Amino acid sequence: MYGRSAAIVGAAHSRLGEVPGSTAIGLMADAAVAAVADAGLTPADVDGIVVRGPDDEYAFQQQLGERLGLDAAFSTSLDNGGASQTLAVILASLAIEAGLATTVLCGYARNSWTRTRQTGSRRARMNQATHNRRREWRDSFGYFGEPATHALGAQRHMATYGTTKEHLGHVAVQVREHATRNPHAQMQTPLTMAEYLDARPVTSPFGVFDCSLRTDGAGAVVVTSLDRARDLPHNPVVVRGFGSQNNLRGWTVDDNMVRTAAQRSGERAYRIADVTAADIDTAQLYDCFTYMVLAQVEDYGFCPKGEGGEFIAGGALRLDGAIPTNTSGGQLSEGHVEGMLQVVEAVRQLRHEYPLDRQVPDARLALVSGHGGNTVCHTSLVLERA
Amino acid sequence: MSAPTTGTTGTTTGPHDGAGRTAPTPRRVVPAPTTESQPFWDGCARGELLMQRCGACGRWWFPPSNRCQHCWSDEVGWHRLSGRAEVYSFTVFHRAYAAELAAQLPYVVAVVTVEEGPRLITNVVGCDPDDVHVGMAVQVAFEPLAEGVSLHVFRPLTAAPPTPSA
């Protein structure tokens, strides 16, 4: 069993939003340098790199090592989509506990805005990175983009549990409320339910405000041993536990799109961390679409399955709600860096870094989730203020 | 907020080829079968929906593979399905992700559960998108895409024959 011997000691993100002329690896380097500085460490201290970049960039960890002049005892790039960034922290923790490395840099970077400007259509970009199998079994039906995949889940959830469009709207509105207090957020103006309901439809039941943002940006954290962490400037954030579940047979199999991989990943994380949902003070959930927040508050046990809509309508995600969630604005309103900013935000909340209007009071335990890899990979972290 | 893709009428053009010419873009992407999936597409071209069933354990799976997903046997056989299915979930596209799709909006992408068990991605056609619902009974139909290539789509099941219990 994992001995809870690893801690996050540095966390940072690059510029977010539209960063003209940016490259993913350049943004990654910016976030990495800032995270190491935040940790109070030097380049010579880093002997591990676990990162991910855009799907069409091979061996991103090698690019980063070259750019930052680092060799590594332990290093790899990950391929679990949006579940990779939390998985990076798990691998770093295991490597440190096993003695494979002492200090591991974890991160993710993308330059989606800049790429869109350079390559034009979404389709052109998607085709580059699209799996042959997906091309054969999806494209002929005009099935493009991840909104549709998650919309299928939302529609099924609605038919099964009576979830409504307004329920999804409460996710968008409450997460935006957090973003109004985040000076780095891409969307800082409040969103009303009326504006949400009037938004241009994308793939039913989703409109534009159900979808996460297009972002140039990177995030990074530094993981080291808890022993070493105690000598560093910030209050250590202990990696208390973690879990994962990969429904590799597919999103359309069983009821995977309604009862997602978060459920079993969460059970494992709670067991390893020896906590329950009731112990968690704040959740930073992978919110590629509003529906994924709704599904996850159920799957992680913050409310019973099928009751996520009413639970959130009651204000659950707010700073004073039942489970303050995505307190930076998340990918729906802060910026979409594939879950890496969720890790950064959890660290900052657990350090009690924020002014009162943004700080979850006395936050001691945070849950962080990652979801992706054709919507079937899921990873969970339970982080604790030391 | 960016405007939705325009160009709902007229012909669309595809990317330039090496000689600087533009080629007409087909209304749909034509699938490129693999050696494993070729029998499926051959079936579609004949107006038959086929799937693989295991010769050892008798279970079905999709998409095509060289081994049974359930018991790992390589006794793979192709069999014709009834063509009847039920909508498991669906989404209505209001946004064109490629120019040639703009003229088709709104259209329905659905996951259907075929009577034999597996689920597949398809379009529900032949009815108003607003009438599509979870649990809706549908029946396969085939849409010609190119010479020798047809696509399996589903229509509302009308005049349903009595379904004997298996």
Instruction: Give the one of B1, B101, B104 whose C-beta lies nearest to A200's C-beta.
Output: B1
> Does the pLDDT of residue B83 top 60, yes or no?
yes
- Secondary structure (3-state) at A40: coil
Residues in B touching A204 (Cβ below 8 Å):
91-92, 94
Among candidates A212, A213, A211, A210, which has minimal Cα distance to A167?
A210
Shortest Cα distance, chain A CAs vs residue B141, angstroms: 13
Q: What is the Cα–Cα distance from B101 to B107, expressed in whole angstroms? A: 9
Among candidates B144, B139, B89, B143, which has minimal Cα distance to B119?
B89
Residues in B touching A135 (Cβ below 8 Å):
29, 31-32
> Does the pLDDT of residue B6 top 60, yes or no?
no
Distance from first CA to last CA of chain B, Å, rounded? Answer: 52
Instruction: Give the one of B33, B69, B109 whose C-beta lies nearest to A141's C-beta.
Output: B109
B151: pLDDT confidence band, cut at 50, 70 and 90?
Answer: very high
The predicted structure's pLDDT at residue B100:
76
The model's pLDDT over A240-293, given as tens digits with 9 standing for 90+, comes to 999 999 999 999 999 999 999 999 999 999 999 999 999 999 999 999 999 999
Round the average pLDDT of chain A to a whole number and report it: 95
Backbone dihedral angles phi then psi of residue A275, each to the nearest 5 degrees: -135, 170
Residues in A touching B121 (Cβ below 8 Å):
137-138, 141, 143, 252
**Mean pLDDT value of segment B51-69:** 96
Residues in A touching B109 (Cβ below 8 Å):
141-143, 148, 152, 203
β A282-284/A365-372 pair status:
parallel
The predicted structure's pLDDT at residue B15:
34
Angle at A306 between CA A304 and CA A311, to 5 degrees: 65
The model's pLDDT over A180-208, given as tens digits with 9 standing for 90+, comes to 999 999 999 999 999 999 999 999 999 99
| Cβ–Cβ gap B121/A203 under 8 Å | no
For residue B2, give the amino acid letter: S
The model's pLDDT over A28-60, given as tens digits with 9 standing for 90+, comes to 999 999 999 999 999 999 999 999 999 888 999
| Cβ–Cβ gap B31/A135 under 8 Å | yes
**Mean pLDDT value of segment B82-106:** 91
The predicted structure's pLDDT at residue A117:
80
* ipTM of the complex in this document: 0.93
The predicted structure's pLDDT at residue B158:
83
Angle at A349 between CA A167 and CA A317, to 5 degrees: 10
> Does the pLDDT of residue A157 top 50, yes or no?
yes
The predicted structure's pLDDT at residue B13:
35
Q: What is the Cα–Cα distance from A59 to B95, expressed in whole angstroms? A: 34
Determine if the pTM surpasses 0.90.
yes
Mutation target vs A (from B2, B66, B107, B111; most A CBs, 10 A cutoff): B111
Residues in A touching B88 (Cβ below 8 Å):
156, 252
Sort B116 into a burial class: Cβ within 10 Å, 0-12 / 13-18 / 19+: middle
